[in-house]
Amino acid sequence: MDTDLHELLRGLRVWEPGVTELPPFDPGAAPGEPLALFTRWFADAVAAGEREPHTMSLATCDEEGRPDVRIVILHGADADGWAFATHAHSRKGRHLAARPEAALAFYWPLQGRQVRVRGPVAVAPPEQAQADLHVRSTGALAAALTGRQSEVLGSLEELARASESAWERARSAPDTEAPSWTLYRLRPTEVEFFQGEPHRRHVRLRYRHTSTAWTRELLWP
């Protein structure tokens, strides 16, 4: 029997009672800049048992302005921006070379929270990219050494051979560099915090960066 997608969708519920806890959010008590609030919400997501809270959607555009999105890992967030990494020759790397702006989105369903970040993207110095890679897992290094990200793959057997060789190098020489591995930093011009509310009176607080400081404003849900 074929699966009825629409029937499945009609049976799903958002923020199921007993699973999701929608905490109150007082935007008037929010800090003056978004990084402090993001750090607090991220810690809350970890404490709530959110699975992989450091995963985020990364949206970019190609040279013709066509959007694309994928899931990546947050490598850090500080005064220099929200950091992520990939190969420079990957699709997202090529997009960012042509149009160095992007948007990020975090979703933590156990608490009905979203965080959206957008702004220009800069490339970190190569030594920082390699240092970032080498503090990660052996598997992360092996994946980086496998290379050829986003290129057409002839077969799964070809991938297996390349991966096995990369794993051997990662285990035997953990300081091996992956020259195309690139660390990017998105310096936000806007950061929005969304807190779900049981009566659908969701709270949306947007930070916008001016030439001198951050401003805050509420948005209709």
Instruction: For the beta carbon of residue 81, count every other beta carbon within 10 angstroms.
Output: 20
Which residue spans within 21-164 are E strands per DSSP? Answer: 55-61, 67-73, 76-78, 81-87, 101-108, 113-123
pLDDT confidence bin for 18, thresholds 50/70/90:
confident
Distance, in Å, from the CA atom of 179 to the CA atom of 130, rounded to the nearest integer, reads 8
Which pLDDT tens digit goes with each residue over 69-84? Answer: 999 999 999 999 999 9
DSSP run (H or E) holding 131:
helix 126-134
pLDDT over threshold 90, residue 2: no
Which pLDDT tens digit goes with each residue over 174-183? Answer: 999 999 999 9
Distance, in Å, from the CA atom of 184 to the CA atom of 99, rounded to the nearest integer, reads 13
pLDDT confidence bin for 209, thresholds 50/70/90:
very high
